[in-house]
Structure 1
Amino acid sequence: MRDIFFVGFLIYAIYFTFKRPYIGVAAWIWIALTAPSQWAFGFSQSLRLNLTIVLVTALAYMFYRDKPKFVFTKLHFWVFAFWFWMLISSIFSLRIDDAYTWEKMIEFTKVVALFLFITMTVRRTHEVDTLIWAMVLSISAYAGMEALKFLISGGGHRIVGRAGIIIDRNDLAVAINMCIPFVVYLWAKTEHKMLKLGLLGLLLLNVLAIIGTYSRGGFIGLCVLAIAFWLKSQRKILFLILALILLPIGYGHAPEEWKERQQTVETAATEDGSFIGRLWAWKIATLIALDNPMTGGGFKATTDPVLWATYAPDTPYFGPIETPPIPPELIPKAAHNIYFQVMASAGFVGLFLFCCMLLSSLLQSLRNRIGSHSLKKGLNLESAIVLSLVGYGITGLNVSLAYFDLLYAIIGVIAVVGIQKKQAETAPSGWAGRQNQRW
């Protein structure tokens, strides 16, 4: 049954992609984040759904008559510069497995291609909203299903990612945090009562899903989002009273294992083996970058057994925090931090480009909001984007998601909104007015 559904979805998506290429981009996002082939059990597992929809989207764009004019922005510069430096880093990779390095480089190239196609095909507000729905119906919908299992099992079900890049529970928690602002945006914009109620239920289930991942970083990110939403709320006193009443009740009914895990935040540096493993990975990432400041060690450098064994003896007294010696039999660990991940992979130059890309995206989002009081819906979208980026930047301290599809899709949306706003400002007044109505 699932195989029939996925094949039917593919045929449906292909048909409408040739009519409107942005629909292909939305399907691209959904497939990349959902990994539907992992859900099937039959013949559809052999179908390369993502590759098919990418090729169809590219072909449809080539023959589409009303394609928007391509505009090169600052975000294009930073994304392409970071991609180029990852290419240079891959050429000079220190990993023993060159095939793995180029496999990851190809994957990142596909992610950058997604960003590029978003900026080439999307302009109008309903097109942007279609992409937002694709994000929500991938990450948030899966989180909602897992939250229901967690609720029905009385907290016994452990929530983890389904497949692909977000299979780790910490990665999934970050992705959910990034999508929660978009669920709120769609809820605020939707007028259909049943759909609005469904989005509200999905929002609550997403909050529960983060708790169900047992991710401390995810929970911290959720708290940051909650504070941000509270600061933007016009009913601060009411929500504060509700929080003071409901939070103790919710904490009292939380699973004991979850409580114990959250309480280890205070003693993580000395007693938590998981956090100590992260410290080891961060130290090795720094040592790799210090020895190779320009290009780093290549994709996932800290997981390379030779590099790990080379720098492991130097870790105990390196840096401000003393750590135990790394056991020789320990399997190399991922960086578990987007900044250390990039620093180890592409050196300090790569880290600089990555941070500039994130900062430029955040600043562009803030600029898109300034002076756009008449574009109420656009403001709501930009507020959601800012919260999503802030959530990524904070919770990214705990995960290795520097090359995450969702991040670059969001950056693509930021570029599109910026392009639309600039065109509206420079166009004749009548044209700008019509565009404002669209937004």
Structure 2
Amino acid sequence: MRDVIVTLLVFASLPYIFKRPSLGMVMWIWISVMNPHTQGWGFARDFPFAAIIAVVTAAAMITNSRRHYRLPLTPVTATFILFICWMCVTSVFAMHPEEVWTQLVKVIKITGMTLIVLMLLRKRIHIEWMIWTIVVSIGYYGTKGGIFTIRSGGQYRVWGPVGTFIDGNNEIALALVMTIPLMYYLYGLIANKWGRRAMAASMLLCALASLGSYSRGAAIAMSAMLLFLWLKGKNKLSFGVIILCCVPFALLFMPEQWHSRIDTINEYEQDASAMGRINAWHMAYNLANDRPLGGGFIIYEADVFEKYAPVPHDIHAAHSIYFQVLGEHGWAGLAIYLVLGCLTWRTGTWIIRHTALRKDLAWASDLAKMLQVSLLGFMVGGAFLSLAYFDVPYYLMAGMVAVRLIVEREKAPVADAQQRAAVAESNREIEEMQHEPLR
């Protein structure tokens, strides 16, 4: 039944996508982030829904004569394109060139559709559609996971949807940490009191589900995210009281085995998983020093660890977005990746600074702050996970760029009016001086 429902929803949306390509962005993000077809047990699990949506969306953009969709050329988009090109170059010179193409195609699909999303985010409503889609897609699993944690007393781990980017307990936990600030932004837009209560409950359940994942990295990211959310939020007093009340209760609710798991952060030398990650980090560092272009996507193999790892037989994935990019694409690739993050962050800072005195653009300031909080959670939690190609951070990057472009458009008429007023005032002063009698 689930397979039929998802199939009907996708195919029913195609005519509307052809009329309004922005709906294609919504459907693509829903399919690629939530992966609803993976919740079925039949033909839909392997059906190419995403490819069909992508083709129809691209065709709609090309054939739409009323609008010309262009990629906004900003420092962020230029760096993003440079990162895509660099990944193609490192794939050509990869250590296992015959094996990297499957992963490269997957990454190109994600980054290519991010470029299309950048072209489709033209108005505030489009950006909020994207935010709502991400929140619903990940919040569904968070709400369900939070209820599961309560019912089980936190005795069992929360896992993500199988076969997706966020199928592991660590991955779903980080995705939930990133989603909570977006929920907080949408909470401020909801006028209905029951809707606001539902969103508040979903935020708490997502936080509880993140704890119920037993992810140590997500626990650190959650702490950083909550602190920054409090700093960026409007009602610091009320929000601070909620945090002080809910956090201790949540920690007391979790069982002893959860606390034992989190306490291993202070004793990582005795934890095999932690030491395996550090071994993989050393491997990536040594590989990047030896090969300027990195090793390509497929480097977590016995022959690579034999050559570059301190403990050759302890083979692990990177478990860090930074060491993942370093090992796969070299120091230059890591530099481009870090510059992309810094430019995205600075874009948010620019938005906040230039909307401080504009009540009509308060939404842009609020959204930029929450996007920064979400990305901070990813940057902190991503230090312990191999999620460098997770699509949600790239969508948030696109949203940040789109918000800045809207703010620039809205500020331009005001700036022109102020300039005209200044010129008129100057001309008036000159005329008055010319008509003054000589003394």
TM > 0.5 fold call: yes
Kept after mapping to 2: 8 A contact 1:114/1:408: no
Aligned to 2:160: 161
Q: What is the distance in 1 between the residues matched to 2:237 and 2:46?
A: 55
Q: What is the distance in 2 between the residues matched to 1:395 and 1:431?
A: 45
Aligned to 1:228: 228
Q: Residue type matched to 1:24 in 2?
A: G
Pairwise CA RMSD: 2.0
Kept after mapping to 1: 8 A contact 2:160/2:172: yes
- The Cα shift of 1:239 comes to 5.0
Structure 1: 5+ residue stretches without partners: 316-324, 433-439
Kept after mapping to 2: 8 A contact 1:424/1:431: no
Q: What is the distance in 1 between the residues matched to 2:377 and 2:148?
A: 25
Q: What is the distance in 1 between the residues matched to 2:24 and 2:241?
A: 45
Q: Residue type matched to 1:290 in 2?
A: N
**Alignment: residue pair count:** 413
Aligned to 2:17: 17
Alignment of 1:201-212 (within 5 A): 201-212=201-212
Q: What is the distance in 1 between the residues matched to 2:119 and 2:238?
A: 44
1:396 maps to which of 382, 388, 391: 382
Higher relative CO (CA 8 A, sep ≥ 6), structure 1 or 2?
Answer: 1
2:341 maps to which of 355, 358, 366: 358
Q: Residue type matched to 1:110 in 2?
A: K
TM-score normalised by length of structure 2: 0.89
- The Cα shift of 1:431 comes to 11
Q: Residue type matched to 1:398 in 2?
A: F
Q: Residue type matched to 2:83 in 1?
A: F
Structure 2: 5+ residue stretches without partners: 419-439
Q: What is the distance in 1 between the residues matched to 2:232 and 2:316?
A: 39
Alignment of 1:248-267 (within 5 A): 248-267=248-267
Deviations 1:137-191 (A, max 9, x none): 1112111112211211222331112131111211211111111111111111111
Q: What is the distance in 1 between the residues matched to 2:226 and 2:263?
A: 20
Deviations 1:239-258 (A, max 9, x none): 55555555444323311111
Deviations 1:96-136 (A, max 9, x none): xx343111111111111122111211211111111111111
Q: Residue type matched to 1:296 in 2?
A: G
Kept after mapping to 1: 8 A contact 2:153/2:254: no
Q: Residue type matched to 2:393 in 1?
A: L
Aligned to 2:66: 66
Kept after mapping to 2: 8 A contact 1:300/1:334: no
- The Cα shift of 1:238 comes to 5.3
Q: What is the distance in 2 between the residues matched to 1:335 and 1:300?
A: 11
Identity %: 28
Q: What is the distance in 2 between the residues matched to 1:229 and 1:85?
A: 34
Alignment of 1:34-433 (within 5 A): 34-67=34-67, 69-70=69-70, 71-95=72-96, 98-162=97-161, 163-233=163-233, 236=236, 240=240, 243-268=243-268, 270-293=269-292, 295-301=293-299, 303-312=300-309, 315=310, 325-326=311-312, 328=313, 330=314, 332-372=315-355, 373-374=358-359, 375-427=361-413
Q: In structure 2, do the counterparts of structure 1 residues 239 and 199 end up closer, same or farther at CA, with 3 Å as the change threshold?
A: closer
Deviations 1:334-392 (A, max 9, x none): 11111110000010010110001111111011111222132111111111111111111
* Divergent runs of 4+, >6 A: 428-432
- The Cα shift of 1:29 comes to 0.9
